[in-house]
Amino acid sequence: MASIAIIPARGGSKRVPRKNVRNIGGKPVIAYPIQLALQSGIFERVIVSTEDKEIAELARYFGAEVPFLRDVSLSDDSTTTLDVIADSALRLNLSNSDLLCCIYPVTPLLTAERLLQAYRLLQSGNWDYVFSASEFVSPIQRAFRRDVLGAVSFLQPEYFAVRTQDLEKSFCDAGQFYFGKAKAWKSKSPIFGHKSTFLEFSRHEVIDVDDERDWMFLEKILEIKKLQVNE
């Protein structure tokens, strides 16, 4: 049974152009997950899936394999992570018993300890996938909407008078990694299903980079962490 890391990194990021090759903390952001995966001791191979030649060159420079260029049809805005990783698993002719971890390219806060926790959980045999998740800052049962006139209404008004501490916790995908069985990836079994579980990440472990403000915030966090290491 082999354990493989695949980092999906397309060249066409829209909200933060060329995000996956952009420098942060002194090196291209894609270098972080590559180096992390290589140094973790978990993976026999670390592979980058991309259609972009510049990303492929950077990936090889930092030690990853790029055994093929992804088809352009799997690199548009409608392509899912499941599509991309399933494609890689089939191209690599992985055994059903192999384990395959999809690590997103913009994950400089991710640690080897977290990947190892997921790896051990997956090895228990109880799950097809283990992924990262974080708790919603506020209970989603108390969410409300605003109509075109500006008026407010609760999405679930029955929870209006319920104390926050009495509401069930809710979680969202933290967008760091998905560690799964190759068989599940190849058959495109749902990642968010009854055969999946997650590791809960705290808020300071995760920054979802959707725009320039998020990028700048991530830069500040990395600067602080670097200062802490050098103290």
- Whole-number Å distance between alpha carbons of 88 and 171: 28
- Residue found by looking up tokens 């109509």 in the block: 147
Phi and psi at residue 17, to the nearest 5°: -55, 135
What pLDDT, on the 0 to 100 scale, is given for residue 226? 81
**Tens place of pLDDT per residue across the chain (231 aa):** 899 999 999 998 878 889 999 999 999 999 999 999 999 999 999 999 999 999 999 999 999 999 999 998 998 888 899 999 999 999 999 999 999 999 999 999 999 999 999 999 999 989 999 999 999 988 999 999 999 999 999 999 999 889 988 999 999 999 999 999 999 999 999 999 999 999 999 988 999 999 999 999 999 999 988 877 665
Question: For helices 112-123 and 31-40, what crossing angle results, to 10°?
Answer: 60
In this predicted structure, what is the pLDDT of residue 230? 65
Specify the pLDDT at position 198: 98
Q: What is the spatial distance between Cα 203 and Cα 225, in angstroms, rounded to a whole number? A: 15
Residue ranges and CATH numbers for the domains of the chain are 3-135+171-230 (3.90.550.10)
Per DSSP bridges, beta strands 27-28 and 144-146 are: unpaired
Cα–Cα distance, 123 to 133 (Å, whole number): 19
Distance CA 222, CA 203 (A): 15
Name the β-bridge partners of 101.
5, 179
Q: How far is CA 220 from CA 3, 27, 36, 214, in A?
A: 33, 15, 20, 10
